[in-house]
């Protein structure tokens, strides 16, 4: 009869520790401290520059592609496709948008 009581006490202590103690970090409760450093969230910028044509694009409506762990945003699928075909030429390029000779918005 004593074993079930010890089991229930242990289970109750475990539940309290998971809710309010160290286990709260795993469950996302953060001890109820609003604004703590571990609650910071990444907020994307409102606008970004298309690496292919140099246009400024809204991040919420832009086409995206990931290269080398970085997210790139594009004004159109045409620019994104050109970037994905040869990303190294756009990532390491120091050319400004004015020096790009090709029309990246023309259909191919």
3-state secondary structure labels for all residues of 52-69 = CCCCEEECCCCEEEEECC
The pLDDT tens digits of the residues spanning 7-44 come to 999 999 888 877 777 665 655 555 555 555 555 566 77
The answer on 84 and 53 residing in a single domain is yes
The yes-or-no verdict on residue 54 having pLDDT over 70 is yes
**Tokens 């756009």 appear where?**
90
Number of domains in the chain: 2
Q: Which of 31-40, 57-66, 98-107 is the most confident on average?
A: 57-66
The answer on 28 and 56 residing in a single domain is no
Give me the mean pLDDT over the 63-84 stretch.
Answer: 91
The answer on 32 and 51 residing in a single domain is no
The answer on 85 and 52 residing in a single domain is yes
64 phi and psi angles, rounded to 5 deg: -130, 160
What is the pLDDT, as a whole number, of residue 60? Answer: 86
What is the pLDDT, as a whole number, of residue 104? Answer: 62
Decide if 104 is inside a domain.
no
Residue 66 to residues 5, 23, 77, 83, Cα–Cα distance (Å): 55, 34, 14, 10
Provide the residue range defining the domain that includes 89: 47-99
Six token digits for residue 9? 């006490």
> pLDDT: is 97 or 92 the higher one?
92
What is the pLDDT, as a whole number, of residue 69? Answer: 86
């Amino acid at each position: 009869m004593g074993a079930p009581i010890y089991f229930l006490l242990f289970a109750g202590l475990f539940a309290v520790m998971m809710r309010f103690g160290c286990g709260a970090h795993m469950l996302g409760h953060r001890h109820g401290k609003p604004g703590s450093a571990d609650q910071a969230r990444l907020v994307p910028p409102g606008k970004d520059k298309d690496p292919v044509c140099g246009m400024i694009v809204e991040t919420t409506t832009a086409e995206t592609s990931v290269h080398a762990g970085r997210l790139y945003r594009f004004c159109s699928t045409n620019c994104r496709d050109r970037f994905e075909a040869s990303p190294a030429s756009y990532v390491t390029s120091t050319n400004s948008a004015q020096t790009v000779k090709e029309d990246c918005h023309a259909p191919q």
